[in-house]
Structure 1
Amino acid sequence: MSIGSSYPVGRSTPGPHPARPLPPARAAVPLSLRLLAASLCGLLALALTAVVFVRTYPGQWWDGALLPRAERGGGYEQRTALVGPAKTVLAAFGSPTLLAALLGAVLLVGVLRRRLVAGVVGVGLVLCAVVLAGAVKSALPRPDLEIESSTTHNSFPSGHVAAATALLLAFMLVLPGWARRWLAVPGAAGVSVIASATMIAGWHRFSDALGGVLLGVTVFCLAAAALAARGDRDADGRPDGRPDGGSRWRGLAGAALGLAVLAWALVVVVPELATSVRRGALVAIVVAGASTMFLVGSVVFLVRSTDFAGPLPAGRRTWPRSSTGPQKIS
């Protein structure tokens, strides 16, 4: 002990100490793994939907209760004045010219944003969704469970709905983050219209429309996971994928817009539908639309600020190794 001091010799005197660097934060789960997990969840939901609605008595009964067969002719076309507009929508969307133009737009946006690989993958996921929908529809048997309102013809999943969902999400691969948020709401509404048209025209059951959305989402998550695994980075430069304050406000604005659209649909569209279609068809349309909004919104939120580009070339700015601020590595 030193004279006149109560502190041990050799130890620093009390006072302000230089700040020690905080331990590094736990690394976030890579986006590719999150997208892969989302695709597995979508595949599981798709399989459960197929098993419940195609292979079980309660599922077939619910499909028939929501969209009963016509008394004459045995078809599922609904008795409503909306049959004509529904068939017009389906004929327009099924036009090869329109589909080719939309796929070309995906490629064009990819080229303009120097995201050609993402554009090609986007076109591929649309074609893959259509092919898979046809393959599942042909391979999946629909047993005869002696339900009056059901037939053994399998139409699960809907190729029109799967193509519409995949086409909307293909644009999410090539558009910047801010544009995705504003396209997601009207795009999901368009997919909901196509799903409703397939049910009103009697082309598909409720489970078919839901399965089409799940198929499109599953294929998109697989494609996006493949792109993310190539070394994609978050658009704002943060390796952990967390959005900054501005991204949060933009996300809140997009969510508010989505809620406003849903509120408008409940106040305006649903009462109009209620006077035109039966209660079962109305329930099927509303549930299919809400499911589409939720599923599309979930995957758009998952990739909200991800720029699906290739890996950064050598010499470009990387995330700093120290906590003192951004550095440029030459």
Structure 2
Amino acid sequence: MSIGSSYPVGRSTPGPQPTRPLARPHPAVPLGLRLLAASLCGLLALALTALLFVRTYPGQWWDGALLPPAERGGGYEQQTTLVGPANAVLATFGRPTLLAALLGAVLLVGALRGRLVPGVVGVGLVLCAVVVAGAVKSALPRPDLGIGSSTTHNSFPSGHVAAATALLLAFMLVLPGWARRWLTVPGAAGVTVVAAATMIAGWHRFSDALGGVLLGVALFCLAAAALVARGERGAAGRPAGGSRWGGLAGAAAGPLVLLWALVVVGPELAASVQRGALVAIMVAGAVTMVLVGAVVFLVRATDFASPLPARPGPSTGSQKIS
């Protein structure tokens, strides 16, 4: 008869299991830093575009292939019936009275919504875009690389396109989030019309229009970062412009509208301009829609209103005993 034990032999009694520390969520990158990073990316893209299209043989060749000079006269005005409307668009947009009225509208909307400082920043954004575009055109040399369809005259970047882009984004500083989403698609379409007009009229090359959009977006991100650093409401995450899914839906509307425009307007436009100019216009429109939609989505939760003064709380000091 074997004598056994009712207790387990050689088995350790399980003790309390060590608790694992809960994983801490990664802190979100502040909006100001994201805007600064976006501005630096825009400036880097602007520099690379200038380096590629202005300073290299393939870039100059592509500019000439998309928008070749006329066979007679050597000008870059495209052989199309849209030259007249293009010149009319540029003449209208270039009027100082119209530009002053639009900048006044930015200030007025900002003042009515209690966002006068963002309105002033928006006006400065447009003026800065025009000045910087002119300075870059004057300072950036365009070498003669022996390309028959290219000249040494530098027109990079386009001041008209930079001003149109900056003007659209200046309104984004003073409008609420829901209004920004409604303005994104028609505003980007308006910038595309100005860019197309500069190319059709022979004022600018494709790279000039692309550089104008990049310059306007980079300056907007820099201005928005300055306003966020000043302490505008919404920078701490208050949803001023709707949920993230609403912002994504608004950003996705741009490419959908562009696709619709390609289906509806594309055939008529293709019949009016040469294939190279058509490609240049469509690519410029797509880049404009994507960049404007991206920056509007980036500031979707910020209304750029001045922070409310803190209310004094109850006193926590010693009370007088009577």
TM-score, normalised by the number of residues in structure 2: 0.87
What 5-or-longer segments of structure 2 have no aligned partner? 1-21, 314-322
**Structure 2 letter corresponding to 1:291:** V
Letter in 2 for 1:250: G
Structure 2: how far apart are the matches of 1:276 and 1:81? 6
Distance 1:243 1:249 in 2: 14
Q: Which amino acid aligns with 1:206?
A: F
Counterpart of 2:275 (choices 279, 282, 290) is: 279
| Residues 230 and 311 in structure 1, CA contact (< 8 A), matched pair in contact too | no
Residue from 303, 308, 316 that aligns with 1:307: 303
1:1-330 to 2 correspondences below 5 Å:
25-234=25-234, 239-240=236-237, 247-315=243-311
Alignment partners' CA distance in 1, 2:303 and 2:282: 33
Flag the 1:316–1:32 CA change in 2: closer, same or farther, 3 A. farther
Which residue in the other structure is 1:3 paired with?
none
Alignment partners' CA distance in 1, 2:249 and 2:303: 20
Larger Rg: 2
1: CA distance between counterparts of 2:268 and 2:221? 35
CA contact (8 A) 2:176 2:303 kept: yes
Contact 2:172 2:180 in 1 (8 A): yes
CA shift in 2, pair 1:264/1:200, >3 Å: same
How big is each residue's C-alpha offset from its partner over 1:225-248, in whole Å with a ceiling of 9 and x where there is no partner?
A: 00000112328xxx346789x523
Report the Cα offset of residue 311 of structure 1: 3.0
Amino acid at match of 1:137: K
1:159-206 C-alpha deviation (Å, 9 max, x unpaired) = 000000000000000000110011011000000000000000000000
Q: Which digits, 9 at most, give the CA deviation of each residue in 1:109-158, with x for residues without a partner?
A: 00001000000000000000000000000000000001000000000000
Q: Give the corresponding residue for 1:11.
A: none
Task: Give the match for residue 19 of structure 1.
Answer: none
Q: Give, as a single letter, the amino acid of the residue that structure 1 aligns with 2:173.
A: L
Counterpart contact for 1:178–1:250, Cα < 8 Å: no
- The 2-side partners of 1:109 and 1:165 are apart by 18
Distance change (3 Å), C-alpha of 1:255 and 1:42:
closer
> May I ask how many residue pairs the two structures share in their alignment?
294
- Alpha carbons 2:176, 2:240 under 8 Å: kept: no
Equivalent position of 2:19 in the other structure: none
Q: Aligned equivalents of 1:316 and 1:146: distance in 2? A: 72
Asked if 2 retains the 8 angstrom alpha-carbon contact of 1:36 and 1:222, the reply is yes
For structure 1, which segment, 266-275 or 226-235, has the greater mean C-alpha deviation from structure 2 after superposition? 226-235
Unaligned runs of 5+ in 1: 1-21, 318-330
Asked whether the 8 Å contact 1:228–1:308 carries over to 2, the reply is yes
Tell me the amino acid that sits aligned with residue 273 of structure 1: L
1:26: how far off? 3.5
- Which has the larger displacement, 253-262 or 90-99? 253-262
User: Once superposed, what is the RMSD of the aligned Cα atoms?
Assistant: 2.1
Alpha-carbon distance in 2 for matches of 1:316, 1:258 = 45
Whether contact under 8 Å (2:240, 2:302) holds in the other structure is no
Call closer, same or farther: CA 1:28–1:243 in 2, change over 3 Å. Answer: farther
Name the counterpart of 1:18: none
User: Partners in 2 of 1:208 and 1:113 — Cα distance?
Assistant: 35
